Homo-oligomer: A and B are copies of this chain.
Amino acid sequence: MATHTQRTRRADALSKQRIVDAAIEILDAGGERALTFRALASRLETGSGAIYWHVENKSDLLVAASDDVIARVLASTDGNVEPFTAIRAVALGMFDAIDAHPWVGAQLVREPWQLAMLKIYERVGAQLRILGVPERSLFYAASALVNYILGVAGQNAANARLDAHEGDRSAFRGAVAARWTQHDPAQFPFAHQIAEQLREHDDREQFLAGIDFILAGIAALG
């Protein structure tokens, strides 16, 4: 039968890239919980076992998917500008990518030794060197920046998980602020004092402020 031949020899044969693309779509649309091999197989119109021919396991798939996203960030941010600007640009690129694909934040934290992290270290490290950071503190300086980025990344992923089908950032911040202030003010004075700032602050600005603190500290301590 013609339809049968079409099905088995279709032009859109499976490949790791097609699987990764489909996985990213599912992750973006429904979050980490939505990505199952059954959902993936059904979207790709194949059997769940077929995916294992191209991908080692679920962890391998998640690594490939987040590597895909990070590679795009690094490709789109320029390394050939003033080092201070370059570091802020990669950091902000990471922030925006994780904002758009929160599952990437969780994935980076889960397996930080993957190639994507190495590439980020590479970009940050090169700029710090240009900035004149002495050899002995280069590693610590780079890891401070990367660890900070990872922390915010994880935080963002968690927020998105809580936010779920809302997408309303400011409502979400209000909810967190409300949660913070529901405790005893005598026991949690700081939480009460900053609750209003928490409600109204800009996430990107807050993120960059942290980067700037670290860069200033690196400059000060060398």
Given A125-B191, A214-B214, 8 further pairs, Cβ under 8 A: A109-B157, A110-B154, A110-B158, A112-B154, A112-B158, A129-B190, A148-B151, A215-B217
Q: Are A194 and B148 in contact (CB under 8 A)?
A: no
Q: In the complex where A213-B221, A215-B217 touch, is A191 in contact with B147 (Cβ < 8 A)? A: no
B contact residues around A50 at 8 Å (CB): none
Q: Are B139 and A198 in contact (CB under 8 A)?
A: yes
| Distance in angstroms between the alpha carbons of A190 and B193 in the assembled complex | 43
| Distance in angstroms between the alpha carbons of A129 and B189 in the assembled complex | 11
Main SS class of interface, A:
helix
Q: Are B143 and A210 in contact (CB under 8 A)?
A: yes
| Distance in angstroms between the alpha carbons of A150 and B57 in the assembled complex | 28
Does A126 make an interface contact (CB < 8 A)? yes
With both beta carbons as reference points, the residue of chain B lying nearest to A115 in the complex is identified as B183
The A181-204 residues at the B interface (CB cut-off 8 A) are 183, 188-191, 193-194, 197-198, 201
Does A218 make an interface contact (CB < 8 A)? yes
Most B Cβ at <10 Å: residue of A188, A191, A193, A209: A209
Q: Are A210 and B140 in contact (CB under 8 A)?
A: yes
Q: In the complex where A155-B147, A191-B121 touch, is A179 in contact with B113 (Cβ < 8 A)? A: yes
B contact residues around A150 at 8 Å (CB): 151, 154-155
Q: In the complex where A118-B188, A138-B194 touch, is A158 in contact with B111 (Cβ < 8 A)? A: yes
Does A78 make an interface contact (CB < 8 A)? no
Q: Are B140 and A190 in contact (CB under 8 A)?
A: no
Q: In the complex where A176-B113, A217-B217, A221-B213 touch, is A125 in contact with B194 (Cβ < 8 A)? A: yes
